[in-house]
Amino acid sequence: MTKTATKTYLVGVIERAISYFKVEALDARTAAENWQEGEFRDRDDEALEAEGPCNVREQQPDGTFLKLPRSQWEAVPTDDDDSARKPYSVLLLYPDYANDSGTETYYAFVEATDPIEAVAQAQREALTVQDGMGGDPEDFAPLLVTPGHHYSEPLFNK
């Protein structure tokens, strides 16, 4: 019988507050899917609305944990999941390196299963529409996520 070596991952999970679980798994996606089987490690008491994995870090040989991009651990959507998708409006703040005044924002309409996925989709979209801008989609900081597609309204009645 051949035994496949596992790696150690630190999975950040939102359960009304961000909690971290140490998970042994073959890859990051498996670690994110099976975080409940991990050992509770730490908690950030900042209250949050959504639940589920929000980041995954892989343990390095020196004992430190390297944060992995969402593309390595997010569940791969299937065609059957379209019925569970809902509309969201997401407001993101541009990263400092692409934001001269510090107030540059990106507003996106996305279809997602939950607010966390909505932010991830909007971040990828924001990076994609910027010609020649490098960086990571997570560099776009989420400011607001609301269910539904919310269009702008006039500020003044004329």
Note whether 59 and 110 are same-domain residues.
no
* Structural domain that includes position 111: 79-147
Note whether 59 and 22 are same-domain residues.
yes
Residue 77 has pLDDT above 70, yes or no: no
Residue 71 has pLDDT above 80, yes or no: no
Q: What is the CATH number of the domain that holds 104?
A: 3.10.20
Q: How confident is the model at residue 144 (pLDDT cuts 50, 70, 90)?
A: very high
What percent of the chain clears pLDDT 90, i.e. is strictly above it? 15
Q: How far apart are CA 129 and CA 122, in angstroms?
A: 11
| Number of domains observed in the structure of the chain | 2
Residue 108 lies in a domain: yes
Residue 15 has pLDDT above 50, yes or no: yes
pTM value is 0.48
Note whether 142 and 84 are same-domain residues.
yes
Residue 154 lies in a domain: no
Residue 85 lies in a domain: yes
* pLDDT score at 34: 83
Residue 2 lies in a domain: no
Residue 129 has pLDDT above 60, yes or no: yes
- Judged by average pLDDT, the poorest of 87-91, 98-102, 140-144 is 98-102
Residue 37 lies in a domain: yes
Q: How confident is the model at residue 103 (pLDDT cuts 50, 70, 90)?
A: confident
Pick 37 or 51 by higher pLDDT: 37
Q: How far apart are CA 24 and CA 6, in angstroms?
A: 6
* pLDDT score at 48: 47
Q: How confident is the model at residue 118 (pLDDT cuts 50, 70, 90)?
A: very high
Q: What DSSP string describes 57-76? A: EEEPTTS-EEEPPHHHHSPP
Note whether 134 and 86 are same-domain residues.
yes
Note whether 66 and 103 are same-domain residues.
no
Q: How buried is 63 (Cβ within 10 angstroms: 0-12 exposed, 13-18 middle, 19+ buried)?
A: exposed
Give the single-character DSSP code of 51. E
Residue 30 in 3-state DSSP? helix
